[in-house]
Each structure stands twice: as C-alpha cells, then as structure tokens.
Amino acid sequence: MIKERLFGNEMKYLQEVLDAGFRASSGAFMMKRFEQAFSERFGMKHGVAFVNGTATMHAALESWGIGEGDEVIVPPLTMASTTFAVLQCNATPVYADIDPDTFQISADSIAKNITEKTKAIITVAIFGLSPDMTPIMALARKHGLKVLEDNAECFLGKYNDQLVGTIGDCASFSFQNSKHLTSGEGGIVITDDDEFADKLRKVVSLGYAGVSAKSGKVTRKDIQDPNYERHAMLGWNYRMPDLCCAVALAQVENIDALVDRRMQVGKLFGEVVHPYREWFKPQFTPDNCVHSYWTFVAQLLRNDLTWHEFRDEFQSNGGDGVYACWKLTYDEPFMKHHNFLNRERYINKERLENYRSGICPIAEKVQPNLFQFKTNYWDFSQAEKQAEILAKTLAHFHQ
C-alpha cells in the first residue's frame, strides 16, 4: 500500500547521474534506460524523451512534415498545448466537437471537418479516458491522415483491451507534476515506426546527424573531429535532462501502483456520485474502456445551482480545491485576438474568422459545468475523507 508519490529508486538514480558528473562521455545514459523501460512497458519499439509534453507534439508534427497550409484536427476541450503544437508548426488547428457523455473528441465531428488540407488528427484522452479510437482510425486510414494520441492525462488506460497510446501512429505522454507519473517536467513519444522515430530523434536533438531512434547521443570520436558534419537538418533542443529521466525511470518501475491508486480514488468518487447522477453526471466510461482517472470529472446539470455555489459548499465542508475545466481553446484570448506570435499569417482568413463561439456547441454546453476532483491521494484515508465531504455536499443540494 503506497503512502507517498516518490517511494522507489528516485534518489538512487538521481545519485547515479550526479556521480557521473555530467561528463559528456556519460551523457544521456539515464535517458536511454528511461526510454527503453517506458516503451517496453507499452510494448512499443521506440521511445524518445522530451523536455515536456508540448514539445513532444510539436516535434511529432514536424517529423511528419506538417507545416504552412496544412490542417490538423484537434478537440477544443483540453489544455491549449495541443493547439500550441499545431501553431508552432505554422499549421492550422481545426476544432472537432466532443461526445456529450464521454467528453472525448467525436469521430462524427472529425469526419465533418476533414478537407483536402487535413494532414493529421490529435486525439486527447481527456481526464484519463480513451476516445472512441476505432472510427477515428478508420477515418484516418481512409483519408491518409496521421494520428497523434495526446495521452498526457492517460497512463495505462485501455480501449478494446489495448493500451491507450499504442493505437495511433504515435503517442505523447507528459511527466509534468500533476500527471500519473512525474519527474517535475518531461515527456515522451512512443511509436513502432522506425523511420519516424529516426526523424523524431533528430528533431529533438538539434538535427544531429549522429543520433537515431536508438541513440540519443553523438559519439566523442565524431564530435571531436574538425571535419564532422554535425547537423543534418533543422532541429530543436528538446532533450529531456538526465536528472528528470532518472526520476521518470523510477516512476515507470512503479507505474502500476501509481496508476492504480488514482483508479481506486476515481472509482470511490464514482460510487459517491452515483445516487445523484441525474443532476451530477460523471464522465461516462464505455464498457470497452478502462479509465485511468487523471481526475474524476462530473457535469453539473442543474439550472437552479451554479458551478461556484457547488464549489463553495464543497470547500466550506472541508473539500480540497476543485478544478474547473479549461476554457475551450478557441475561446481563449490568444485565439480570439489571433495572438500567434506572427504565425497568424500562415492561416487563411476564413479559418481565422471561424475561431469563435458556436463552432463546437456540445463542448460549449459541457465545459462551464464540469468539476475536476483530484485523484492523487497517496494516503487513501485522505481520499475517503474527501469522498465523505463530496457526499455531504451532494446531499445538501439534493431535492
């Protein structure tokens, strides 16, 4: 039974990195161990580590050659980083609406938004649940589109008995401090595509000619040669530091326990909410999915009760901070005012004018009424206490 988040080899592996003294000759040894452990846990051939879970998506799109004039379909109900990655490529984000019960990107809406300019789809396993991937993958194959799974919030979730993150062409994970596994910051992309992984490694590593899917380090012999041609292409310095990789490796070793705790808490909250589901509706988990519960989410369906009133009562009873859902990305100021650091010039006028309320009506109805409850209670007694407070709050408002 775990009582804290960091309980494995984190300190041991950090010490190994420090003992190596950051010498160039020993550089990236922990990154290689981490990448191998993570990709093997998901049954994938390649893992490429990144400084964060936004750089992962930007680099993946760049590795597919996506750029000016290309369109990438994304959900509006998620953290804005998913859209940022598209804009960083000088490409155009196109928003598909969500399913009203699962809150996931809708395959039907994706289909309506595919044009001759569409090059990729980014799915987001929002709150820890998989989107309905079968029809999405069918659309992608029909139209020759790439699928990037944004799984920042979903570790060990399943869809049709398949791990989320092993369904699309590649998958991105984040190790930011709120995620199932953390190293403070960091990210990784996993894939079975050899050619893509080689390109991705160069994108993440300053375009170095000597790196590949299996090697993230240029040899000393090469780098010391005055005739060595270092940079085969444009790339970014997106590499994950070995100190972060050390912590992430230790977290991977305990991934089952860390994810299982969140699933236990999510199911506990689900039991509490169940009697009130007609007006406090939890995120629906289809029978073919396993939810990994990055957060437990429910939608308030009462005209006589506001989001803030429920939040205030919950907190007055001793509840922890409850989180709202992000504003829809296209409703954020940077989208409304086209503050894209001059990248707005790459997006046609019609698309720019379309970034406004009304394009995803289901998401617009759902977003203001969502509550996200924490699931990262390493002392389970604290989770039980919060469940009791939630039950008390629900009973208070029940009619």
β-pairing, 146-150 vs 170-174, is parallel
Based on the residue annotation, tell me whether 179 is a catalytic residue of this protein.
yes
63-68 CB contacts, 8 Å cutoff, 24+ apart: 63/196, 63/199, 63/200, 63/203, 64/119, 64/120, 64/146, 64/196, 66/91, 66/119, 66/120, 66/146, 67/91, 68/346
Catalytic residue, chosen from 119, 146, 179, 217, is 179
Contacts of 69 (CB under 8 A, 6+ apart): 91, 92, 117, 346
Residue 98 DSSP one-character state: B
Question: H/E/C letters for each residue in 143-181?
Answer: HCCEEEEECCCCCCCEECCEECCCCCCEEEEECECCCCC
Q: What is the identity of the amino acid at 178?
A: S
Token pair of 268, please?
């506990």
Whether the CB-CB separation of 35 and 79 falls below 8 Å is answered with no
Contacts of 162 (CB under 8 A, 6+ apart): none
Half-sphere exposure of 337 (CA within 13 A, CB side): 5
Q: What is the three-class DSSP state of 191?
A: strand
Phi-psi region of 353 (alpha: psi -120 to 50; beta: other; left: phi over 0): alpha
Q: CA 154 to CA 112: how far, in whole Å?
A: 26
In 10 A of CB 103, how many CB atoms?
25
Scanning 42-105, the segments in alpha helix (DSSP H) are 55-63, 81-88
Q: Which residues are part of the catalytic machinery? A: 179
